[in-house]
Amino acid sequence: MTTTATTLKGQPLDKAALESLLRRRLFYTPSFEIYGGVSGLYDYGPPGCALQANIIDLWRKHFILEEDMLEVDCTVLTPHDVLKTSGHVDKFADWMCKDPKNGEILRADHFVEDVLESRLKGDKEARGQKVEEKEEDPKKKKKKSKGHEAVKLDDAVVQEYEEVLAQIDNYNGEQLGELIKKYDLRNPATGEQPSPPVAFNLMFQTSIGPSSNLPGYLRPETAQGQFLNFAKLLEFNTGQMPFASASIGKSYRNEISPRAGLLRVREFLMAEIEHFVDPEGHKKHSRFHEVEDIELELLDRHTQLSGKTTTKRMTIGQAVKDGLVDNETLGYFLARIHLFLKKIGIDQSKIRFRQHMANEMAHYACDCWDAELLTSGGWVECVGCADRSAYDLSVHAKKTGAPLIVRQRLDEPKVIEEWEVEIEKKKFGPFYKKDGKTIEAAILATSQEERGKLAKDLEETGKAVINVPSVGDGKVEVSKDLLAIKWQKRVENIREYTPNVIEPSFGIGRILYSLMEHNYWTRASEGGDEARGVLSFPPAVAPTKVLIVPLSSHKDFTPAVRKLSQKLRSAGISSRVDDSSASIGKRYSRNDELGTPFGVTVDFQTVKDATITLRERDSTRQVRAEEDKIIEAIRALVEGTKTWQDIESELPLFEGQQEVEVAVR
């Protein structure tokens, strides 16, 4: 496994150079920059937008179409009651503390992490060891402009700090407060110890309608809309289980102090699946056999709690068999997530699956594995895969009375024998008057065991004593002319159950950023003067597939360029024309930065014999052939049915243009 961020070619990653490229080429840009910007908000420019659309398109095909999932589009605005019931109003919070001197607001876990890591670095320096600087860790709340002091620590202290850091996500606010006191952690900006952590709810609040009486929030996840529509979706699916719904849309989290670029933002695109499954039968999955041999890097919770971060590589089949991953459905989705990340071009050596520790888990989850990707900001959670059990459907059903259940016709009717209560309503009410309802409820609430005893009393003594704490002395006598308890047999043809939910949840922006890092590299220019950036996106996700480069902006080339452009559009292949006055070499190198996998040149030869050259981004090698053959080659390359090697073996290599390119640089 790789352990530090590198380029695609294994070079150390120069993050500043990459970010400069990404902003220059408008992959993304801070929102409202001319107004000074707002931290945690970013806009995507044309290439970022196209990259995002292509990732979403592949996601839809890989998950929704492949498994006939039911896609829904629910509102972001969500009334208070829904998120109160789901637990988000009370529990969806981070811990924040305040510097008593300058009023700075700090996210508690990031603060503890920062200071301890800084001390460990100081220790390494004092011991004369090499210190690796991560630039802008997504979990860090500020750049350590103050740096760290070279102070040697006891070996035992070093080990203690490392153990704390390995389980930093597992502490609650009180525990973080204790760590701050225990290790006397101080804000480097002021030298002060911050105040004890308090919970800060991460939801953006607003008010719906003109009379301000309907408080609401921007959803923190797309899931709730899917749960609330469960009964309708089940009916749409003609009652068949299991099934999944899916949703692609924006969600919002009011991060305390986001300063990690696209890795921690306040508004983000999510793609979420809610797979509804019968909790009986160990959550088997009918297609698990298709993925069971796929190998994953797994970091389980026990390893982390023991203060380590070493992963185990094993097949998902083995992991489920060993009980490391709880069930087939969870395992199936971990493998499918892995395949998706591979398909879009994530570096295979930079993926691991990390299990959440108990305190770290969201309030609704009973198990959760994150797909983490290695970036310059360390290992970053990009996909969560949680087993939410029956939590959400149960709480909403309880609150609203809506039947969020599955009614399953049983193949073999089930015979049930049990004690049943019969109340003689006509006499019961008039006899007990105002206490009637309370006493009746107490009787109906009795257990089978209690009913057995009551039945015996009624039969033997003609009366029974019921415990009703709120009536009289708490004991109420009921005679057998008012109440009967009988041993009854009945046959059930229907089984009712609340499904469990397995939820793969994708942070598209984080995946997109990681993809850009994983596909970035630099190559020496032929003049040798400077390294030029390349983004080697797979053709399927590349923002634009083809750059069309006329030799010059001379009008002789216009008809050929227009025709080519039109033909590519009909073939469903996105292209852009660059007829600027820059040299061909410059124009190609601009498009290497944009990640455009193919380039075609229209030159004087084209005007004569309708042949064009095709250049491949990564090798910079070229072939030349008649226009339609080149278009066919591009189509095959984009659809993934042929490789560049195939094309080189089919079409004649071209080297003339290459020389021109060198010459004009």
Helix (H) or strand (E) holding 626: strand 622-626
376 binds a copy of itself (CB under 8 A): no
Closest distance to a copy of itself from the beta carbon of 577 (Å) = 8
**Of 309, 308, 378, 509, which is closest to residue 114 (Cα–Cα)?**
378
- Looking at 1, 16, 65, 524, which residue binds a copy of itself (CB under 8 A)? 65
Tokens coding 194: 């911050």
How many residues bind to a copy of itself according to rule CB under 8 A?
74
Tokens coding 451: 């009913």
**Of 301, 305, 300, which is closest to residue 319 (Cα–Cα)?**
300
Nearer to a copy of itself, 234 or 633 (CB): 234
**Pairing assessment for the beta strands 351-355 and 295-299 based on DSSP bridges:** parallel
Q: Is 660 helix (H, G, I), strand (E, B) or coil?
A: helix
34 binds a copy of itself (CB under 8 A): yes
Give strand ranges (E) for 202-257: 205-207, 215-218, 243-252
Give the position of tokens 């014999």: 609
Nearer to a copy of itself, 53 or 441 (CB): 53
List binders of a copy of itself among 233-272 (CB under 8 A).
Answer: 233, 236, 238, 250, 252, 254, 256-257, 266-267
Nearer to a copy of itself, 317 or 585 (CB): 585
- For residue 279, the one-letter residue type is P
Q: CB of 621 within 8 A of CB of 648?
A: yes
Choose the stretch contacting a copy of itself; rule: CB under 8 A; options: 32-40, 135-143, 189-197, 408-416. Answer: 32-40
Q: How far apart are CA 290 and CA 444, in angstroms?
A: 50
**Of 566, 561, 622, 617, which is closest to residue 587 (Cα–Cα)?**
617
Using alpha carbons, list the distances in angstroms from residue 474 to 435, 481, 484.
Answer: 12, 21, 21
Nearer to a copy of itself, 80 or 621 (CB): 80
List binders of a copy of itself among 556-595 (CB under 8 A).
Answer: 569, 574, 576-578, 580
- Looking at 130, 145, 184, 211, which residue binds a copy of itself (CB under 8 A)? 211
195 binds a copy of itself (CB under 8 A): no
Nearer to a copy of itself, 25 or 110 (CB): 25
- For residue 559, the one-letter residue type is P
Tokens coding 225: 């809309």
Nearer to a copy of itself, 553 or 649 (CB): 553
67 binds a copy of itself (CB under 8 A): no
Closest distance to a copy of itself from the beta carbon of 41 (Å) = 5
- Looking at 176, 218, 325, 540, which residue binds a copy of itself (CB under 8 A)? 218
Closest distance to a copy of itself from the beta carbon of 223 (Å) = 13
Nearer to a copy of itself, 576 or 629 (CB): 576
82 binds a copy of itself (CB under 8 A): yes
**Pairing assessment for the beta strands 622-626 and 653-654 based on DSSP bridges:** antiparallel
Q: CB of 614 within 8 A of CB of 633?
A: yes
List binders of a copy of itself among 95-114 (CB under 8 A).
Answer: 96, 105
Q: How far apart are CA 629 and CA 417, in angstroms?
A: 76
- Looking at 32, 290, 422, 459, which residue binds a copy of itself (CB under 8 A)? 32
- For residue 467, the one-letter residue type is N
42 binds a copy of itself (CB under 8 A): yes
194 binds a copy of itself (CB under 8 A): no
List binders of a copy of itself among 393-432 (CB under 8 A).
Answer: 396, 400, 402, 404
Task: Name the CA dihedral angle for 301, 302, 307, 312, rounded to a multiple of 10 degrees.
Answer: -80
Closest distance to a copy of itself from the beta carbon of 606 (Å) = 21
**Of 415, 354, 407, which is closest to residue 384 (Cα–Cα)?**
354
Closest distance to a copy of itself from the beta carbon of 110 (Å) = 13
Phi/psi of residue 497, nearest 5 degrees: -150, 155
Nearer to a copy of itself, 243 or 432 (CB): 243
- For residue 323, the one-letter residue type is G
- Looking at 70, 164, 335, 382, which residue binds a copy of itself (CB under 8 A)? 70
Closest distance to a copy of itself from the beta carbon of 200 (Å) = 5
DSSP 603: -
Nearer to a copy of itself, 63 or 428 (CB): 63
- Looking at 4, 11, 20, 79, which residue binds a copy of itself (CB under 8 A)? 79
- Looking at 6, 78, 376, 601, which residue binds a copy of itself (CB under 8 A)? 78
Tokens coding 28: 């993304």
- Looking at 14, 62, 67, 71, which residue binds a copy of itself (CB under 8 A)? 71
87 binds a copy of itself (CB under 8 A): no
Taken in order 60, 62, 66, 68, the sign of the CA dihedral is negative
Nearer to a copy of itself, 166 or 202 (CB): 202
**Of 543, 639, 531, 522, which is closest to residue 595 (Cα–Cα)?**
543
- Looking at 17, 58, 76, 158, which residue binds a copy of itself (CB under 8 A)? 76
Q: How far apart are CA 400 and CA 231, in angstroms?
A: 13
Nearer to a copy of itself, 479 or 583 (CB): 583
